[in-house]
A = this chain, B = another copy of it.
């Protein structure tokens, strides 16, 4: 169930064609965060609100419709769980979901053949820090750690062109014997929208927007709820 996530980040135009490849699983000695954040979205998304009410969600995709395919991007928020101690912590990190749909006629796109790619928090970091001319590639294995590990391989590549970037999703499925590639040319202006929107969304999918939105709770003199980390030890206690 846990996807294999490999990031290849190259700055080949800006840094003299040097290609830096980082295989996160290898270098990390195991990267629990990556595994958790990516695995999260494979489970059913079900949630009550904090006060028990079920609230309607609001969806706001940003879509780019081009000749051969369309690309829609939208944030998927993290989910939280309450611990026995009474704290709430991030249970499953959020992602930026990219949805590609192939064109099947003028202004018509095939939702049946859509392909998804979920950018993790760190992949969003790579995306928003791309300089002009930089390139970037991410690899996901949706079946990682399952029986079918390695059977389906997805890669998302972001490559510069004269006015913006080509964003391509390749899905190689050895079980279905399919090999699909969907490419959407993204203009500088559209990329600027994505960068700004992803930067805005980043603290939200990390859960920081939620954890910092509690300033009013800090007014007063006493409390029974203390951060477990900070209760036991502060920097200055050692």
Chain A residues with CB under 8 Å of chain B are: 1, 3, 7, 9, 18, 20, 22, 24, 27-33, 38-39, 41-42, 44-50, 52, 54-68, 74-82, 86-90, 97, 99, 103, 106-107, 114-118, 121-126, 128-129, 140, 142-143, 152, 154, 162-163, 171, 173, 185, 187-193, 196-197, 199-204, 206-227, 229-231, 233-238
A191 to B121: give the CA distance in the assembly, Å: 11
On chain B, the residues within 8 Å of A209 by CB distance are 200, 212, 215
Cross-chain contact B82 with A48 (CB below 8 angstroms):
no
Cross-chain contact B217 with A47 (CB below 8 angstroms):
yes
On chain B, the residues within 8 Å of A117 by CB distance are 235
* A227–chain B nearest beta-carbon distance, Å: 6
A193 to B171: give the CA distance in the assembly, Å: 27
Say whether, besides A59-B88, A99-B229, A125 and B192 are in contact (CB < 8 Å): yes
On chain B, the residues within 8 Å of A140 by CB distance are 235
Cross-chain contact A193 with B86 (CB below 8 angstroms):
no
* A16–chain B nearest beta-carbon distance, Å: 12
Cross-chain contact A233 with B65 (CB below 8 angstroms):
no
* A232–chain B nearest beta-carbon distance, Å: 9
A191 to B9: give the CA distance in the assembly, Å: 13
Q: What are 13 pairs between A and B in contact, CB < 8 Å? A: A33-B64, A42-B237, A48-B221, A50-B219, A62-B121, A62-B208, A75-B211, A77-B212, A117-B235, A122-B190, A193-B206, A197-B206, A200-B212
